[in-house]
Amino acid sequence: ELEVALKVVIVGNGGVGKSSMIQRYCKGTFTKDYKKTIGVDFLERQIEVDGEDVRLMLWDTAGQEEFDAITKAYYRGAQACVLAFSTTDRDSFEAAHSWKLKVENECGEIPTVIVQNKIDLLDQSVVNPEEAEVLARALGCRLVRTSVKEDVNVSAVFRHLAQRCLAE
Ligand code: GDP
Ligand code: MG
């Protein structure tokens, strides 16, 4: 039986928690000042979905998203996407649409989940719940609210993407 391997890219403005999410999901840890020190392009985790072994390769950016300089190599062959924004960062929410287009340009239509991260900071929210749902509907994606810090819903994001990919 063949193992399925999926390349997943995580996009969104700097500071929304992309690296933290990868680290949380693949290593089970959270630190307040995660810097990319790993000498590889991605971390991976193996899960079982509907009786199938799936190897998820989660690709991180080394902060180039700040300079709009993510290379084609980052996107190449990606089969699924996490598009993240932060509950406390209005710009990151406003940028979601253009991130979706960027991924579409490089990868075509691939299964994508919109992630509203940092829901542990709901008292500092600058995005109302309805707006987030409208955005997700407009982009044709599922919305998942996460707290990487408190480990809320992180696994659900990747499980959903793996299921979508297997179903294709
Ligand atoms: P990236 O630039 O998108 O890779 O973001 P990072 O993973 O470097 O995270 C930016 C900052 O947000 C770091 O200080 C993280 O510790 C913090 N952070 C990430 N996820 C959460 C979360 O769910 N809740 C809170 N409160 N902070 C978070
Ligand atoms: Mg990062």
The ligand with the least distance to the CA atom of 36 is 2
ipTM of this predicted complex? Answer: 0.99
Out of 10, 13, 20, give the residue to mutate to test ligand 1, the one with the largest number of ligand atoms within 8 Å of its CB: 20
Q: What is the overall mean pLDDT for the chain? A: 92
- Under the banding of pLDDT at 50, 70 and 90, the label for residue 87 is very high
Asked whether 155 and 31 are in contact (CB, 8 A), the reply is no
Atom of ligand 1 nearest to the CA of 33: 14
Lowest mean pLDDT among 9-18, 26-35, 136-145: 26-35
Query: What confidence score (pLDDT) does residue 60 get?
Result: 87
Query: What confidence score (pLDDT) does residue 37 get?
Result: 47
Query: Does residue 80 surpass a pLDDT of 60?
Result: yes
pLDDT single digits (tens) 108-152: 999 999 999 999 999 999 999 999 999 999 999 999 999 999 999
CB hemisphere CA count around 33 (13 angstroms): 0
Long-range contacts, 40-45 (Cβ 8 Å, 24+): 41/74, 42/7, 45/158
Strands in 65-126 per DSSP E: 80-86, 112-117
Q: Is the dihedral angle over the CA atoms 149, 109, 36, 95 positive or is it negative?
A: negative
What's the mean pLDDT in 63-82?
A: 84
Query: What confidence score (pLDDT) does residue 72 get?
Result: 83
